[in-house]
Structure 1
């Protein structure tokens, strides 16, 4: 496997902000790929630690606290538990899931900053920064919103536009405003400490150029940043929530969250390797006591024979590939990442996942609605992972992949071979008198699957690896379907023994190879086969189950998901969308007052549409013939984009009949029908709830 120079592996997954739960975009982008990789390494016997934790010092957390009227600590305590519990229940097998509000982290981050400070790495600069005079506070990046200069989004943050993904600085925003008071901020001088990325660019560039084998999206984004020239970046902020800057003259300042957060991987490793970790921390940290590290924390970060891999989303590439490596270079003791496999974004039902719009599938809610289907979501999100480009999750595809692939291929094969073994041979592993050419061909094909799957995982091509795994399940399914042991049992019992033996051996191989992708199903299959969990190197053979081995009872590996369950999820999303639209609706401002006499001069009557047709060479106009009760007249109305002509014949409408006639596209229009228009541009007729005589007056 891979490069033998590495004795141990340190694998990190991006620290999620504790200002909200985890959703499927996070899972597909970071946590499932990382978990597959780590579970594979463990199955091959590698010394690996898997570190993650809650990022509890970001500005979004202080904004959340402010909006909810609670303290930042209360916010992070709430979401640390929700996120940690979700990961644990979903089966993300971290060695430790810790938190950056811990004392260990504060000490580690402070010591790291102090080391760079004492080495003279930072430049101390007085710069102008946005200040909210009304709130009396300097504004960090996310305390400022304005119009994005790249795409025109009016709600872009001071560090990033979430609509187009562009990285920004607050001074680039058009019409900036404070999120604290809504006021326009002013520029005011303040002192901060900067990491001189400009001076370090040659060193950083040399590091990036050593890794041309990185995923194209990662390497390409790094080269783009470097080609534009790096600038010094402030590593401190004027805030009161975070790790305090440990130098004199830094009162009221904390470490920049992107200086602080990646150090969380190190502080998490320290606690993981601490044999005297307190009982309270062990409970709070979601420490996996069964995955004890073999070495000191320094070995996992300082040693050249340790491979460091960061799993992140594409919005974190610059921080993990340029800023954090620059910090580690400046420190001098740490090894740099060997790879940073970042995925693209996952969309949901054709729309961008949005926390603020509640357009997401939240992990903790999924686990409530589908408590025994962790592996189904793992499978679907891996099969559709946005590895090279943005991809889309739909509930219908989720259902189809479960029913047509997990149930119909993998589950069907396992169920058949186990049920038939119990039916014909009392659940014992038996063997016939010899192998056919087909048997030998299947056995030969089987040998290659472990190495093919392993190669794809080692190259971070998890979709490809999962596809190869399912090809083995297809091989088993086809073998059984072609052999038809349920027919042969009447005439050739010896042949059936061989068929079922090969089928069971394939099933046991699937149990081993499923471990990285479908850990719950793998364990369930091991239990049905009455096998101990086997390491990866045991796969690829047909002697995993000895003759006479007793199988446990068969059970369904996967169950069909009914339309009703999917319809409920789609309805939940639609309800969220409607609620969002209603919350976002803004009524037009009232027009200037009119006198009663002016209003009384309008003659509005109830009429019925008798005829309707589209006006030639226009997209918006319909020619209507309306019975007003006084006469029948022609009115031209701009509603063609909302109504088909045949749909509205016979409809009653309100008509302003004393509007000055005017010619529109050569047609004399004698009046106006009244329409209600919502803030999102939808139109509806203003009409009586019950049928009224034509000519009735609207007052």
Structure 2
């Protein structure tokens, strides 16, 4: 079982999320599949909780509408990045909601859940308690304004709503009062001993995860809140908690189980999920960022222990430090960082996959650098890996009719190179199984470095003129290294690996097993025509940053799109704009008898009397623009084709002010 932290989908994930969890998990899942292990790779969109609800309130839409759109977009982005989920689901899945409610009902009945009165901020104007991000204020730690009730974005410290200085309601801006309310808690302290045993005996935990978790327990475990006063989420199943929802952090971690159930149920194997969660030989691997450590090394194991059902505890938890941008945390609201959709506007996915794994922050926070990105693409990919593959296949195509040369009677150096490759492949496997992804990728590139050294030493361009048989041996060995790269590169750069496999004309059986990395291509095997795998980046980091800013401005988020007030309006006034031959002043009823003015360049396309009474599509919340001395307050939507303008109109009668969705 391979999984990664469920990305929260109030926004598109950024590069830090990609390398901290999703991409790392994908690399390892692909490797274990190649090994022939029975792998299930699951995750999903985390769509409950206050950030989604606050954003939906701000946009004036339902949380479900917001998450439906974001989930669909993110699913498509995973495909473009080559993320090979077996099941990427969502917390709105009926199977997930059913499992979460039944799970918490079980641990409630076993005595691990209790109710307690607490004081929380209450907004009298909105008539509701303010959980997490429904309240904002000044951070008590760093003094930053705009800190949220769950976390300060400036200093990253975790907060509680009651601790904020000068708190205000995030919806209406009024000052809340403190009121008592009942909430339900998980008695986490009862599992201190079991958790310490799990942490001390598990050698597969990353160093930062073990150290953080043991220190966390050493400070004394406190009851963990299970409920929130949210309307958006999974209803709490506890008696008396009918107006509560399950806290998103304790709900989402159970998604690893529910996603497995959903996957096998969809395959008609109703009970097979239990093999991955109860079989002692099954292994579960979690890939997370360091901010998620306590939820995967303390909260999730404690919940699984509380069930009393014998769930497998995490076998491996690989946590990374943070990827930062110019020394700051990625922030959508402050437009700091690079998001995964923006990244693909600039370069192909495999460039990013290579760069992110090669700079994976495994021991300390890492700052994103365009200079390092350019160097990795140009030096590692183009000059080293791409150059070796291209020169080998070009040489075979030119001098050996595009067929693998005879490999009989290899010399000592030739056999030594093949043995070195076998050792490198073993090392890659060991490093991947130890979750040392950065080292593993470096070792993969070492295969091409070895190939380039060997090619340079043996100089087949000289041998072909004096000893064709020796030249044949060199190319025979070199093409075996290319085949090795097609296999060992595939967990990291699947699109490039597929291209290499296609160039080598590998059949399915020759590309689908890790052991194929050291199996030799037979002499006379036909290969395809060589073509470059990569292109050098010929601009500097400043230019790439400019292009990134253009990509940010050329695309809008779904949330930005929802700000557009698109509706149907009726043209009730139409006259020419004085001193203009092309502009028409229109009065448009946008609903409720409200008439707004538009200035449109449609004179000569429509007669004035023809326009009166037309129902047209308009953008009604446009900032007024002064045109020929007139304020244009709305924009008519029209299509243009070769100078011909056609106003967009509904094909059925609708009333003025009807929303366009």
- Give your verdict on TM over 0.5: yes
Partner of residue 339, structure 1: 316
Partner of residue 673, structure 1: none
Of 197, 205, 208, the residue aligned with 1:217 is 208
Spell out, residue by residue over 1:589-616, the C-alpha distance to the aligned partner (whole angstroms, 9 max, x if none): xxxxxxxxxxxxxxxxxxxxxxxxxxxx
Partner of residue 305, structure 1: 281
Of 115, 130, 137, the residue aligned with 1:124 is 115
Partner of residue 290, structure 2: 314
- Can you give the 5+ residue segments of structure 2 that lack an aligned partner in the other structure? 554-661
Partner of residue 241, structure 1: 232
Q: 2: CA distance between counterparts of 1:276 and 1:294? A: 8
Partner of residue 105, structure 1: 96
Q: 2: CA distance between counterparts of 1:167 and 1:431? A: 65
Superposition pairs for residues 621-632 of structure 1, below 5 Å? none
Please report how far the alpha carbon of residue 537 of structure 1 lies from its aligned counterpart in structure 2 after TM superposition: 4.3
Please report how far the alpha carbon of residue 562 of structure 1 lies from its aligned counterpart in structure 2 after TM superposition: 2.7
Is the 8 Å Cα contact of residues 472 and 510 (structure 1) preserved in structure 2?
A: yes
Superposition pairs for residues 111-510 of structure 1, below 5 Å? 111-211=102-202, 213-275=204-266, 296-333=272-309, 334-370=311-347, 373-431=348-406, 434-510=409-485
Of 424-433 and 504-513, deviating more is: 424-433
Partner of residue 634, structure 1: none
Partner of residue 71, structure 1: 62
Is the 8 Å Cα contact of residues 143 and 178 (structure 1) preserved in structure 2?
A: yes
Superposition pairs for residues 510-529 of structure 1, below 5 Å? 510-529=485-504
Of 448-457 and 527-536, deviating more is: 527-536
Counterpart secondary structure, 1:392: strand
Spell out, residue by residue over 1:377-396, the C-alpha distance to the aligned partner (whole angstroms, 9 max, x if none): 00000111111111122223
Q: 1: CA distance between counterparts of 2:142 and 2:185? A: 29
Spell out, residue by residue over 1:38-91, the C-alpha distance to the aligned partner (whole angstroms, 9 max, x if none): 111001000110001111102110111112111101110111011111011110
Is the 8 Å Cα contact of residues 371 and 540 (structure 2) preserved in structure 1?
A: no
Spell out, residue by residue over 1:297-323, the C-alpha distance to the aligned partner (whole angstroms, 9 max, x if none): 111112211111111111111111111
Of 538, 547, 570, the residue aligned with 2:546 is 570
Is the 8 Å Cα contact of residues 513 and 536 (structure 1) preserved in structure 2?
A: no
Please report how far the alpha carbon of residue 474 of structure 1 lies from its aligned counterpart in structure 2 after TM superposition: 0.2
Partner of residue 598, structure 2: none
Partner of residue 560, structure 1: 536
Spell out, residue by residue over 1:227-277, the C-alpha distance to the aligned partner (whole angstroms, 9 max, x if none): 211110110111110001123322221011012111222221111101468
Counterpart secondary structure, 1:64: helix
Partner of residue 4, structure 2: 13
Q: 2: CA distance between counterparts of 1:458 and 1:294? A: 30
Counterpart secondary structure, 2:273: coil
- Can you give the 5+ residue segments of structure 1 that lack an aligned partner in the other structure? 1-9, 278-292, 578-699
Please report how far the alpha carbon of residue 330 of structure 1 lies from its aligned counterpart in structure 2 after TM superposition: 0.5
Please report how far the alpha carbon of residue 103 of structure 1 lies from its aligned counterpart in structure 2 after TM superposition: 1.2
Q: Residues 356 and 321 (structure 1 numbering): CA distance in 2 closer, same or farther, change over 3 Å?
A: same
Please report how far the alpha carbon of residue 535 of structure 1 lies from its aligned counterpart in structure 2 after TM superposition: 4.5
Counterpart secondary structure, 1:489: helix
Q: 1: CA distance between counterparts of 2:38 and 2:551? A: 47
Of 562-571 and 64-73, deviating more is: 562-571
Spell out, residue by residue over 1:567-604, the C-alpha distance to the aligned partner (whole angstroms, 9 max, x if none): 15435349979xxxxxxxxxxxxxxxxxxxxxxxxxxx
Counterpart secondary structure, 2:520: coil
Counterpart secondary structure, 1:127: strand
Question: Could you list the runs of 4 or more consecutive aligned residues of structure 1 that deviate by over 6 angstroms after TM superposition?
Answer: 574-577
Please report how far the alpha carbon of residue 539 of structure 1 lies from its aligned counterpart in structure 2 after TM superposition: 4.6
Superposition pairs for residues 22-61 of structure 1, below 5 Å? 22-61=13-52
Q: 2: CA distance between counterparts of 1:321 and 1:71? A: 34
RMSD: 2.1
Is the 8 Å Cα contact of residues 121 and 196 (structure 1) preserved in structure 2?
A: yes
Of 193-202 and 159-168, deviating more is: 159-168
Q: 2: CA distance between counterparts of 1:198 and 1:177? A: 33
Q: Residues 101 and 397 (structure 1 numbering): CA distance in 2 closer, same or farther, change over 3 Å?
A: same
Partner of residue 686, structure 1: none
Please report how far the alpha carbon of residue 402 of structure 1 lies from its aligned counterpart in structure 2 after TM superposition: 0.9
Q: 2: CA distance between counterparts of 1:402 and 1:255? A: 45
Q: Residues 274 and 213 (structure 1 numbering): CA distance in 2 closer, same or farther, change over 3 Å?
A: closer
Q: Residues 459 and 62 (structure 1 numbering): CA distance in 2 closer, same or farther, change over 3 Å?
A: same
Is the 8 Å Cα contact of residues 122 and 130 (structure 2) preserved in structure 1?
A: yes
- Counting matched residue pairs gives 551
Q: 1: CA distance between counterparts of 2:213 and 2:158? A: 13
Give me the TM-score of the superposition, normalised by structure 1.
0.76
